[in-house]
């Protein structure tokens, strides 16, 4: 048995703990099969942390994450925190852990699975074969820019301010991640900005264009964000890898995700340089179905696979998990969000069991 990998688990809120339990079980089974061992340590984030400590990102959580080999997050948030001051909201904890670990590169794949093609709200001929990787900048832009706040003006009226700012070095480092990602895929990179209006976007476009000299094998294009939103539903197959800033990436990655029929299927990876990567489903905490054994654990399980592949360099374990997910879908197992006629509807736990059974047959 190899040295155990230290994994920090952040189950968070809502359906988080239920889907995390499935991912942990799946990892343990794969670990046994491949002689890998994992040392799991749970830490608090989001609403769960607010309840226990009064703050959404306790310092102990940052420490635990930093000392691990990888971090697996489920989801955070609940409507009941929406009225708290911003620094006490679950979302602030999520943004805080991204910043504390320097996770500037967020990889969000949106790939249509043939088994789920009819779950998409778009026509089969539009979404068939869609395979997009959104590379979103995650620790800069308008999410973090200064000044920010709500300020009183001289007239007494309040004015809300946020600042979209990118330094050249921030653009370059996400640009390089995106060119490298495109290189491993179909060698097409589309950079999305709003350079027709925003100076920050003009700088973004200029830097990405300059970088492209180092990646002559990657075909670079640029698109304004409004057009990109439209093109994603008009002809999504034109995209391979997309690179964009924090806010545009937040929006476009949800849109790209929905092309696949359910946001409940999609994992993501957030990577930095000095610290472990963080892996999480693209979907949220779904507080409306929490604790009812209805959640789809597949995005969480696929996030664990992404963690094994990108965070721990264990591609064989990742392949096995992905194959098990394909197998349960092939045999017609579905949770409510991806249910269609003739399929078998399973709860979260039963889907976990189906995955464990499927893993036994995967080679």
Q: Which does 255 bind (CB under 5 to 8 A by kind): ligand IPM, Mg ion, none?
A: none
Q: Which of 222, 190, 189 is nearest to 205 (CA)?
A: 222
Binding segment for ligand IPM (CB under 6 A), chosen from 7-15, 89-97, 116-124, 220-228, is: 89-97
Q: Can you say how many angstroms the Cα of residue 257 is from the centroid of all Cα atoms in its chain?
A: 10
Has 187 been annotated as catalytic?
no
Binding segment for ligand IPM (CB under 6 A), chosen from 28-36, 64-72, 91-99, 163-171, is: 91-99
Q: 74: helix, coil or strand?
A: strand
Four-point Cα dihedral 250, 254, 256, 257, nearest 10: 130
Q: Can you say how many angstroms the Cα of residue 157 is from the centroid of all Cα atoms in its chain?
A: 38
* Cβ 307 to ligand IPM shortest distance, Å: 16
Q: Of residues 78, 194, 215, 240, which has the active-site annotation? A: 194
Burial (Cβ within 10 Å: 0-12, 13-18, ≥19) of residue 357: middle
Has 240 been annotated as catalytic?
no
Binding mask 209-238 for Mg ion (x = CB under 5 A): ------------------------------
Give the β-pairing of 131-137 and 105-111. antiparallel
Question: How many CB atoms neighbour CB 247 within 10 A?
Answer: 17
Q: Cα–Cα distances in Å, from 207 out to 71, 192, 330?
A: 31, 13, 44
Q: Of residues 69, 131, 172, 254, which has the active-site annotation? A: 254
* Cβ 295 to ligand IPM shortest distance, Å: 17
Q: Is 94 in the site for ligand IPM (CB under 6 A)?
A: yes
Q: Is 299 in the site for ligand IPM (CB under 6 A)?
A: no
Has 118 been annotated as catalytic?
no
* Cβ 143 to ligand IPM shortest distance, Å: 7
Q: Of residues 118, 214, 226, 330, which has the active-site annotation? A: 226
Residues 208-267 that bind ligand IPM (CB under 6 A): 250
Which residues, in sequence order, are bridge partners of residue 240?
none
- For 74, phi then psi, to 5°, come to -95, -85
Decide whether 94 or 218 has the Cβ nearer to ligand IPM.
94
Q: 273: helix, coil or strand?
A: coil
Strand spans (E) along 158-246: 158-161, 188-193, 219-224, 241-244
Q: Is 137 in the site for Mg ion (CB under 5 A)?
A: no
- For 101, phi then psi, to 5°, come to -95, 0
Q: Of residues 143, 166, 215, 310, which has the active-site annotation? A: 143
Q: Is 250 in the site for Mg ion (CB under 5 A)?
A: yes
Q: Which of 329, 325, 334 is nearest to 355 (CA)?
A: 325
Q: Is 55 in the site for ligand IPM (CB under 6 A)?
A: no
Binding segment for ligand IPM (CB under 6 A), chosen from 27-35, 88-96, 158-166, 224-232, is: 88-96
Decide whether 93 or 311 has the Cβ nearer to ligand IPM.
93
Decide whether 22 or 94 has the Cβ nearer to ligand IPM.
94
* Cβ 1 to Mg ion shortest distance, Å: 38
Q: Is 91 in the site for ligand IPM (CB under 6 A)?
A: yes
Has 310 been annotated as catalytic?
no
In whole angstroms, what is the distance from residue 220 CA to residue 242 CA?
10
DSSP count for the chain of H helices, then E strands: 12, 14
* Cβ 143 to Mg ion shortest distance, Å: 11
In whole angstroms, what is the distance from residue 253 CA to residue 135 CA?
9
Residue numbers at the binding site for ligand IPM (CB under 6 A): 91, 94-95, 250
Residue numbers at the binding site for Mg ion (CB under 5 A): 250
Catalytic residue numbers, as ranges: 143, 194, 226, 250, 254
């Amino acid at each position: 048995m190899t040295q155990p990998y230290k994994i920090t688990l952040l189950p968070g809120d809502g359906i988080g703990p239920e889907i995390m339990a499935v991912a942990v079980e799946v990892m343990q089974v794969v670990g046994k099969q491949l002689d890998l061992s994992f040392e799991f340590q749970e830490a608090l984030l989001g609403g769960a942390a607010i309840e226990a400590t009064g703050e959404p990102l306790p310092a102990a959580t940052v420490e635990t994450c930093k000392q691990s080999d990888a971090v697996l997050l489920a989801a955070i948030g609940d409507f009941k925190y929406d009225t708290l001051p911003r620094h006490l909201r679950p979302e602030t904890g999520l943004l805080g852990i991204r910043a504390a670990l320097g996770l500037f590169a967020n990889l969000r794949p949106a790939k249509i699975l043939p088994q789920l093609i009819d779950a998409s709200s778009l026509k089969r001929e539009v979404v068939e074969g869609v395979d997009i990787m959104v590379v979103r900048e995650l620790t800069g832009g308008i999410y973090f820019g200064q000044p920010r706040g709500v300020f009183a003006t001289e007239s007494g009226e309040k004015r809300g301010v946020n600042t979209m700012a990118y330094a050249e070095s921030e653009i370059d480092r996400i640009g390089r991640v995106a060119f490298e990602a495109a290189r491993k895929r179909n060698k097409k990179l589309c950079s999305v900005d709003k350079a027709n209006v925003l100076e920050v976007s003009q700088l973004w476009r200029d830097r990405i264009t300059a970088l492209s000299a180092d990646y002559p094998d990657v075909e670079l294009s640029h698109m304004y964000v409004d057009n990109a939103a439209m093109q994603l539903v008009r002809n999504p197959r034109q995209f391979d890898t997309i690179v964009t800033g924090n806010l545009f990436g937040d929006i476009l990655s949800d849109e790209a995700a929905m092309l696949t029929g359910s946001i409940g299927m999609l994992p993501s990876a957030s990577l930095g340089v000095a610290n472990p990567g963080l892996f999480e489903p693209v979907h949220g905490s779904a507080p409306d179905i929490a604790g009812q054994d209805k959640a789809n654990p597949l995005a969480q399980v696929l996030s664990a696979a992404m963690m094994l592949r990108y965070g721990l360099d264990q591609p064989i374990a990742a392949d096995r998990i992905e194959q098990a997910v394909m197998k349960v879908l092939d045999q017609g197992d579905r949770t409510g969000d991806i249910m269609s006629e003739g399929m078998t509807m399973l709860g979260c736990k039963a889907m976990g069991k189906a995955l464990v059974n499927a893993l036994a047959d995967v080679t």
